[in-house]
Chain A
Amino acid sequence: MAKNSKEVAKHEEVAEHDYATGLAVITEDKISDPGIEPHRVRMTDKSVKHEKAAARQVALLFAISILGSIFAIWAYYAFPFDDTNASSLRINTLFLGLGISLGLFGIGIGAVHWAKTLMPDAEVSEERHQTRGTEEVRAAALEVIRLADQESGFSRRKLIRRTLYGALALFPIPAIVLFSDLGPNPKDSLRHTMWGAKKNTRLARDPDGTPIKASDVQIGSVFHVIPEGLEKLEAPHMLNEKAKAAVLLVRLDPSEIKNDKEREWGYDGIVAYSKICTHVGCPVALYEQHTHHLLCPCHQSTFDLAEDCKVVFGPATRPLPQLKIEVDAEGYLVAPGDFAEPVGPSFWERKA
């Protein structure tokens, strides 16, 4: 009795989900393989006139190639490169390149046009074979593996197997140790700039290296600054130092500065900030006099100079480091020491 009622219930359930009308997927009418398109006879096969025209076109394309190559040889001598005139190089390479590319282009287009119009165009199909091997091939392969395992005793000899695994795992490790020493180790050079090399380095104009007096800096003006003496360094070393020590010097109305630390580290509204963006190290130098915004040209990070260079827009996450400045006995601006934090983008060992 109970069994019967269960069966009845089951039946009713099925009945509820019976897609009898309209919703069933019709399987008989599925899209069939359309097969190969019916062959279409080309004009060049139907009319001799068209065939001859196509042959002439192919020959013309090859002739263009010949002319292009000859033109390239002629142009090489006709437009020589003159050491004293830079535009002669442009003319020389322009016509040489034009000739050579015509030479190659004519051959390529001619060959394709030839194949498309004159060579046989009957459709041919090649059946693909299965990627999977036959049963016999698969069985033979497995037999080889089984035999190798049996003869070497790989599954049986635990000690050998485990030491081999260990050897294979350790083998690449020396390479990692080796790679860690590729290139010079920057040591702590990322944490120090030329400002810290000696006390009271004068702020100097980039690129001339002339020191700047506090009285030279008007409100609203921008100075691009290097440490005095940097311009006298040797070339590769000089660029490395400049890349870290470049500073932007700006004078604001002291009342516009909203940050106490910024005012204290400056001199009467004159403030100096690192020019190296804290995002990826581009020189931040687009200064808007009225908004006090400092803009990085690479990714549009924007820093507010009136508020300790805090980030107001863009991908940078840290404010630009401020360089503390003072005035020496002769009225020149000097930096008593280095930046308080590493300048520029984050690096592996840098905290925060």
Chain B
Amino acid sequence: MAIRTKKFSRRSPLAAVIVVLAGLLVSGGSYVAATAAVTSSAKAEVDQATIDTGKKLFLANCASCHGKNAEGTANAPSLIGVGAASVDFQVGTGRMPGQASGPQLQVKPVQFKQEDIDALAAYVASLAPGPEVPTEAYLAQTGNASHGGELFRINCAMCHNAVGAGGALTQGKYAPSLRNTSAKHIYEAMVTGPQNMPVFSNSNLSPADKTDIITYLQYVQENPSVGGDELGNLGPVAEGLIAWLAMLGGIVVITIWLGAKSN
């Protein structure tokens, strides 16, 4: 009896191991259950046939640069782990398939139907987990435009301009204008960091923050400038050019008229 009491009071050295194992099982199990629930709902739409279609499209259109198994070549990066969002952005904005090598891939007319883009994305997503195409809930412009504006000015405005008009980078690269970019593509660009743009993952800007930023960009597009014509929002260069040409030109014309003799 005394021995038993002693044993129970001091605990078996195995007890700690058992507790840790049980904890790991519970947390890991619940994590697996939770992610399984999420992925199964997402995967429900993507069947094997779509992935097979995507693979065929990939082999016909992308494999010459990205490799037959998307492993990458000297000409193009590996696509393993870039996720569906990356494919949807690059192909959905017409940047891919690339037309010509240069400092930066250009936007051009989209080369695929959306269902083909979805199939390609499904195939690339099936290779390894990566950022997914955002659902409509994140793209609805119902966020806080004021908070979005603050985040945009801190994280994005240095390259994309304070109202998303775009701007120049080094050696021919540039940050494109966000004027005609859809909410989905803006979201995907933040998650995937295409080309030289840094990644703004959900651990940096939460999905709610991203929604706020999209709401802000929508707001500045829909609300006209109260200060008159925006002149492309290019700042003092465009404004100065117009002011000097129009104002100085007008002054020169008036001066010539003042000095000329009447007929």
A289 touches B262 (CB 8 A): no
> Between A and B, how many residue pairs show CB distances below 8 Å?
85
Which residues of the other chain, B, contact A213 by a CB distance below 8 angstroms?
203
B263 touches A218 (CB 8 A): no
Tell me, yes or no, whether A216 is within 8 Å of chain B by CB: yes
Given contacts A86-B226, A216-B203, A218-B203, is CB(A224)–CB(B155) below 8 Å?
A: yes
B196 touches A285 (CB 8 A): no
Question: Cα distance A216–B199 when bound, in Å?
Answer: 12
Which residues of the other chain, A, contact B173 by a CB distance below 8 angstroms?
288
A90 touches B170 (CB 8 A): no
Query: Shortest CB–CB separation between residue A309 and chain B, in angstroms?
Result: 15
A297 touches B158 (CB 8 A): yes
B residues 150-166 in Cβ contact with A at 8 Å: 150-151, 154-155, 158-159
B198 touches A289 (CB 8 A): yes
A residues 21-79 in Cβ contact with B at 8 Å: 40, 42-44, 54
Tell me, yes or no, whether B233 is within 8 Å of chain A by CB: no
Residue-wise interface mask of A (215-226) relative to B, using a CB-CB cutoff of 8 A (1 in contact, 0 not): 111111111100
A residues 188-234 in Cβ contact with B at 8 Å: 205-207, 213, 215-224
Tell me, yes or no, whether B240 is within 8 Å of chain A by CB: no
Query: Shortest CB–CB separation between residue B180 and chain A, in angstroms?
Result: 22
B200 touches A221 (CB 8 A): yes
Number of interface residues of A (CB under 8 A): 43
Measured as residues with beta carbon below 8 angstroms from the partner, the interface class of chain B is: 20 to 34
Query: Shortest CB–CB separation between residue B90 and chain A, in angstroms?
Result: 15
B198 touches A287 (CB 8 A): yes
Question: Cα distance A86–B225 when bound, in Å?
Answer: 9
Which residues of the other chain, A, contact B224 by a CB distance below 8 angstroms?
87
B170 touches A283 (CB 8 A): no
Given contacts A44-B262, A87-B226, A297-B158, is CB(A289)–CB(B196) below 8 Å?
A: yes
A205 touches B204 (CB 8 A): yes
Question: Cα distance A286–B196 when bound, in Å?
Answer: 10
Which residues of the other chain, B, contact A302 by a CB distance below 8 angstroms?
170
Name A42's contact: one of B204, B228, B262 (CB within 8 Å): B262
Tell me, yes or no, whether A148 is within 8 Å of chain B by CB: no
Tell me, yes or no, whether A112 is within 8 Å of chain B by CB: yes
Name B228's contact: one of A90, A112, A286 (CB within 8 Å): A90
Which residues of the other chain, B, contact A216 by a CB distance below 8 angstroms?
201, 203-204
A224 touches B154 (CB 8 A): yes
In the complex, what residue of chain B is closest to A285 when comparing beta carbons?
A: B158
Query: Shortest CB–CB separation between residue B88 and chain A, in angstroms?
Result: 19
In the complex, what residue of chain A is closest to B161 when comparing beta carbons?
A: A297
Name B196's contact: one of A40, A218, A290 (CB within 8 Å): A290
B196 touches A291 (CB 8 A): yes
Which residues of the other chain, B, contact A43 by a CB distance below 8 angstroms?
262-263
Query: Shortest CB–CB separation between residue B113 and chain A, in angstroms?
Result: 30
Tell me, yes or no, whether A295 is within 8 Å of chain B by CB: yes
Question: Cα distance A302–B169 when bound, in Å?
Answer: 10
B226 touches A221 (CB 8 A): no
Which residues of the other chain, A, contact B150 by a CB distance below 8 angstroms?
207
Tell me, yes or no, whether A89 is within 8 Å of chain B by CB: yes
A221 touches B193 (CB 8 A): yes
Tell me, yes or no, whether A293 is within 8 Å of chain B by CB: yes
Tell me, yes or no, whether B197 is within 8 Å of chain A by CB: yes
Name B261's contact: one of A40, A217, A283 (CB within 8 Å): A40
B residues 202-225 in Cβ contact with A at 8 Å: 203-204, 224
A223 touches B262 (CB 8 A): no
Given contacts A207-B150, A288-B173, is CB(A222)–CB(B198) below 8 Å?
A: yes
Query: Shortest CB–CB separation between residue B215 and chain A, in angstroms?
Result: 17
Query: Shortest CB–CB separation between residue B147 and chain A, in angstroms?
Result: 9
Which residues of the other chain, A, contact B155 by a CB distance below 8 angstroms?
222, 224
Tell me, yes or no, whether A261 is within 8 Å of chain B by CB: no
Tell me, yes or no, whether B102 is within 8 Å of chain A by CB: no
Query: Shortest CB–CB separation between residue A73 and chain B, in angstroms?
Result: 23
A residues 88-112 in Cβ contact with B at 8 Å: 89-90, 94, 112
B201 touches A116 (CB 8 A): no
Query: Shortest CB–CB separation between residue A270 and chain B, in angstroms?
Result: 13
Name A221's contact: one of B170, B204, B258 (CB within 8 Å): B204
Tell me, yes or no, whether B109 is within 8 Å of chain A by CB: no
Which residues of the other chain, B, contact A317 by a CB distance below 8 angstroms?
none
In the complex, what residue of chain B is closest to A290 when comparing beta carbons?
A: B196
Question: Cα distance A295–B167 when bound, in Å?
Answer: 12
B169 touches A286 (CB 8 A): yes
Tell me, yes or no, whether B111 is within 8 Å of chain A by CB: no
Which residues of the other chain, A, contact B261 by a CB distance below 8 angstroms?
40, 42, 116, 121
Residue-wise interface mask of A (291-320) relative to B, using a CB-CB cutoff of 8 A (1 in contact, 0 not): 101010100101000000000010000000
Tell me, yes or no, whether B142 is within 8 Å of chain A by CB: no
In the complex, what residue of chain A is closest to B77 when comparing beta carbons?
A: A290
Query: Shortest CB–CB separation between residue B206 and chain A, in angstroms?
Result: 10
Question: Cα distance A183–B226 when bound, in Å?
Answer: 37
Tell me, yes or no, whether A117 is within 8 Å of chain B by CB: yes
Could you name 29 residue pairs across A and B whose Cβ atoms are closer than 8 Å?
A43-B262, A54-B262, A94-B228, A121-B262, A206-B154, A207-B154, A215-B203, A216-B204, A217-B203, A217-B204, A219-B199, A221-B199, A222-B155, A222-B204, A223-B204, A224-B155, A283-B158, A286-B169, A286-B175, A287-B198, A288-B170, A288-B173, A289-B193, A289-B196, A289-B198, A291-B196, A295-B169, A300-B170, A302-B170
The 7 closest A-B pairs by CB, nearest first: A216-B203, A222-B198, A221-B199, A288-B196, A86-B226, A116-B262, A285-B158
